[in-house]
A and B are shown apart, each in its own frame.
Chain A
Amino acid sequence: MKTFKALLIREYWEHRGAFLKTPLIIGIVMSVILILFYLTTDRFAMKMSGGELADFGAKSLDSVDPAKIQFGIDVFMLGSASLYHFVLFFILFFYMLGSLYDDRKDGSILFWKSLPISDTQTVLSKLVTATIVTPLIFVAGVIVSHLLFFVVLSLILLLFGINPFTVLWANVNYINNWGAFTVGCLMQALWLLPVYGWFLFASSFSKRRPFLIAVFVPVMFGFIWYWYNALVNFNMLQAGVFKTIGIYLARGFSPFTSGLEFSAESVDFDATEQTGSEVIVSMMNGFSNPDLYYGAVFGIIMTAVAIYVRRFRNTT
């Protein structure tokens, strides 16, 4: 246990820039955009109406239905959280491709392997970093970013003489929206387990470019499958490989919509109008979807293969 904890901390040390700084930088960028937005609007309003228009608009906020304000804040919080899910996937994509390859490339694997740590522990520490540790850091990052954004927004509201506590802070569904992101991270990890397992395998197996194995092998396989069915079975529509990969990726890219059906009849066209709690319930539908478990089994098998390969592949 002590060893495993040390392994997780090692991953954090090595990738602190990507894991910790990225969510904070996105939060800072959102706040800076808000300030720029305020400055341009303010200048525009000054030029047009000597500032009266902006003041008038701001004042009218007091009489807006709190439900509508709540809805607007929900859209902002879930929308930006969705962006974080997307960014998280890309960070993990590059993290996992390098995770069992970079140390072989620079030879440091020979140091790691001189310590009494089994290859199983090493590979699992990478998987746990991708599925649990980094998402948790991102949850904290989202909370800090949202709070920073709300503080900046409060200052702007104060400039207009509006009480931010009644208009903003009292209308934020903290638990539902941050809860939705947290559950979203969990569902993202589960839906992407087959993809992560495949990345670990590519990283462990590759002698030159893990990217090529990770991306082009499935693409090639998909094309061969497609043409095989088109030419031999005269069935152009049976593009099963791409569809399967596509569904898992789509659910992983955007876990908030992962509980929705993809067939035309059952699509909920008002997906964006869901509140945080509705999103959570919808995502939980994934647990009753057998695809989730098939994917997880594939992910576990690929991780096992990655461990097997890791035992004897020490160089690139």
Chain B
Amino acid sequence: MSQILTAQNVNKKFGNFQALKDVNISIDKGKIVGLIGPNGAGKTTLLKSVLGLDSCDGDLRVLGIDPFKKRDELMKEICFIADVAVLPKWIKVSQLLSFTEDTHPNFSIEQAKAFLKKTKVNMDHKVKELSKGMTAQLHLAIVMSIDAKLLVLDEPTLGLDILFRKQFYDNLLNDYFDNERTIIITTHQVEEIEHILTDVVFIREGEIVLDANMEELNESYFEVMVSQENYQEALNHKPLTIRKVFGKHIMLFKSSSRDVIETLGDVQRPSVSDLFVALMQEEEA
């Protein structure tokens, strides 16, 4: 099965508030998908439905399973880190590992211990005695020792310093990810993960506004440094955004071909965060 996740016309309402509007996406095996959206856009709502933590309307299948109905079955094949601070505070590291081993058929305690050997986390520590960064390392060690088909990370590095964040994603890429696995990540620190993503999904007010892989993005969105003489002509091509940096105009274009755009100035690959800002503004206008 190459499709890990399919959503067809998924809707979710809280009272009068429509948190998800006709969400249609499908995610294939071997992808690293960034789910990106402003606060309150419905990222967490969507992930909660995917993880079986809440119900939704429409047809949502993860590994062919309805998540809300059979969460316990689904959790054998997928795992998630919802936040850095969700490990129970009172438990000892050794207890946490042995509990996970007893309850999870695809967890390897030896592997988790091997990961933890490289950190300062001690088996006799209680979680509340660990620093935030160490707690994240512990959680990552557990998650990486689970042989899962899908890993969902919801703001996994919130509140960690830059060293831990970098190490977190390095570990994830080098020690965990392979083409048999799929990862979905949401984060506000888009710049830190954009180089590892294969696909991006932008969500805004409950709607998917962009669902593309990185190559498609690079072929249809261009960032151009426009010099003063080309300014008027560039405006004719309807840039999505214009920024002024050191007297030059940096414009973002959506175009089917690179040829015309190239005549306007130096063409660069836009960063995901710039693209995100542009698309969010476009929708508002």
Contacts and interface: CB of A to CB of B under 8 A. Distances in A.
Interface stretch (A54-62, A80-88, A115-123): A115-123
A114 B100 CA distance: 10
Interface string B100-133: 1011110000000000000000000000000000
Contacts of B72: 116-119, 121
A3 B71 contact: no
Given A6-B99, A115-B100, A314-B53, A106 B75 contact: no
B103 A13 contact: no
Nearest to A13: B95
Interface in A91-137: 103, 106-119, 121
Nearest to B128: A106
Contacts of A314: 48, 53-54
A10 B87 CA distance: 14
B102 A107 contact: no
Contacts of A43: none
A107 B86 contact: yes
Nearest to B96: A111
Contacts of B139: 111
A312 B56 CA distance: 11
A93 to B, nearest CB: 20
B103 A113 contact: no
A121 B72 CA distance: 10
A288 to B, nearest CB: 40
Contacts of A21: none
A112 B53 CA distance: 11
A312 B102 contact: no
A208 interface: no
Contact of A3 (B74, B88, B90, B102): B102
B87 A312 contact: no
B93 to A, nearest CB: 12
Given A13-B95, A116-B76, A108 B103 contact: no
Nearest to A6: B102
A106 B53 contact: no
Contacts of A5: 102
Given A14-B91, A103-B88, A312-B55, A117 B103 contact: yes
Interface stretch (B77-85, B169-177, B186-194, B269-277): B77-85
Given A13-B91, A14-B91, A118 B86 contact: no
- Which of B68, B75, B92 has the most CB atoms of chain A within a 10 A radius of its CB? B75
B103 A118 contact: no
A283 B88 CA distance: 40
A2 interface: yes
Contacts of B80: 110, 114
Contacts of A116: 72-76, 103-105
Contacts of A243: none
Contacts of A311: 68, 71
Given A3-B103, A13-B95, A118 B71 contact: yes
Contacts of B105: 116
A115 B103 contact: yes
B83 A110 contact: yes
A108 B87 CA distance: 5
Interface in A25-59: none
B166 interface: no
A133 B272 CA distance: 54
Nearest to B107: A115
B243 interface: no
A111 B87 contact: yes
Interface string A8-31: 011001100000000000000000
A107 B83 contact: yes
Nearest to A312: B54
A312 B45 CA distance: 12
Given A107-B83, A110-B83, A14 B90 contact: yes
Interface in A150-183: none
A120 to B, nearest CB: 9
Interface in B207-251: none
B161 to A, nearest CB: 21
23 contacts: A3-B103, A5-B102, A7-B103, A10-B91, A10-B99, A14-B88, A103-B88, A106-B85, A107-B83, A108-B88, A110-B53, A111-B88, A113-B71, A114-B51, A114-B75, A114-B80, A114-B81, A115-B103, A116-B73, A116-B75, A116-B76, A118-B71, A118-B72
Interface of A: 2-3, 5-7, 9-10, 13-14, 103, 106-119, 121, 311-312, 314
Given A6-B99, A103-B88, A314-B53, 7 more contacts: A3-B103, A5-B102, A6-B102, A115-B103, A116-B72, A117-B72, A314-B48
